[in-house]
Amino acid sequence: MSNKPFVIGIAGGSGSGKTFFLHCFLNHFNPSEVCLVSQDDYYIPVGEMTAEENKLYNFDLPATIDDELFLKDINQLLDGGIVYKKEYTFNNPNATPKILEIRSAPILIVEGLFILHFKQIAERLDLKIFIDTEEEIALKRRLKRDLLERGYSEEDILYKWFNHVVPAYQEYLLPYKNDCDKVITNNTHVAEDIIKITEEISEELRAEVLPKRLA
């Protein structure tokens, strides 16, 4: 690999379908071609909290992220290195976090809510992708995910949505929407729509980016 990785930033609010988009996108490449570093793995530990404390604690603020370590690891991958990082388990005391090994690759994906807000991280992005979704649809997705997968109560989910999630989205992500290279509207429940979009982007990268990075 003769050149630094091509860095793609993927930003989207909660319920935007960012995770599914990433899954589809990664399926177009093999592990030696692309690597992923996620903002979620850089939450600052807050210790043991009761259910009520967890409900009130606002995880949707830039201050909850160790952005210095996030930037340090991104730079290490840009230099061709390897990053070892403890997986974030969404404050679940019953989950055992894995140790993630992230190896530098020709394409580096950086994803998260605040990646455009963190100036030094945003400056390293060669391609900025914004996943845009109507608020009502995003909330339905959030409810489905947190009720089924994370065991949160509907009251808890709605409290955090209106008091934490939406204000953070409006202040720390939405202002950067027009600065992005691609804005992808994801209001559909048809998987093929997102698969097609990721296929088109991956074909562009295979034609224009990978040959240079692998030269």
- Cα–Cα dist 123/75, whole Å: 12
Retrieve residue 63's tokens.
């201050």
**For residue 215, is it within any domain?**
no
The amino acid sitting at 23 is H
Q: What confidence score (pLDDT) does residue 21 get? A: 93
Task: Tell me, yes or no, whether 214 lies in a domain.
Answer: no
User: Residue 197: inside a domain, yes or no?
Assistant: yes
Per-residue burial over 99-135, b if 16 or more Cβ lie within 10 Å, else e, is eeebebbbbbbbbbbbbbbbeebbebbebbbbbbbee
In one letter, which amino acid is 130? F
Instruction: Tell whether 102 is covered by a domain.
Output: yes
pLDDT at residue 5 tops 60: yes
Residues forming beta bridges with residue 82, ordered by sequence position: 103
Count Cβ atoms within 10 A of the Cβ of residue 79 and give its class: 0-12 exposed, 13-18 middle, 19 or more buried: exposed
* Separation of alpha carbons 29 and 8, rounded Å: 14
* pLDDT at residue 89, as a whole number: 72
Cα gap 81→168, rounded to integer Å? 32
Q: What is the CATH number of the domain that holds 104?
A: 3.40.50.300
Mean pLDDT, residues 156-182: 95
- On whether residue 1 sits in a domain, the answer given is no
- Within a domain: residue 169? yes
Task: Report the number of distinct structural domains present in the chain.
Answer: 1
User: pLDDT tens digits, residue range 178-205?
Assistant: 999 999 999 987 788 899 999 999 999 9
pLDDT at 6: 96
Pull the structure tokens for residue 89.
Answer: 């388990």
Residue ranges making up the domain that contains 51: 6-209
pLDDT over threshold 80, residue 23: yes
Taken as a whole, the chain contains a residue count of 215
pLDDT digits (tens, 9 = 90+) for 57-68: 898 999 999 999
Phi, psi of 169 (to 5 degrees): -60, -45
Supply φ then ψ for residue 103, to 5 degrees. -100, 135
pTM over 0.75: yes
Q: Residue 152 — very low, low, confident or very high, per pLDDT cuts 50/70/90?
A: confident
Q: What is the pLDDT of residues 108-147, one digit of tens each?
A: 999 999 999 999 999 999 999 999 999 999 999 999 988 8
CA-nearest of 5, 4, 6, 1 to 201 is: 6
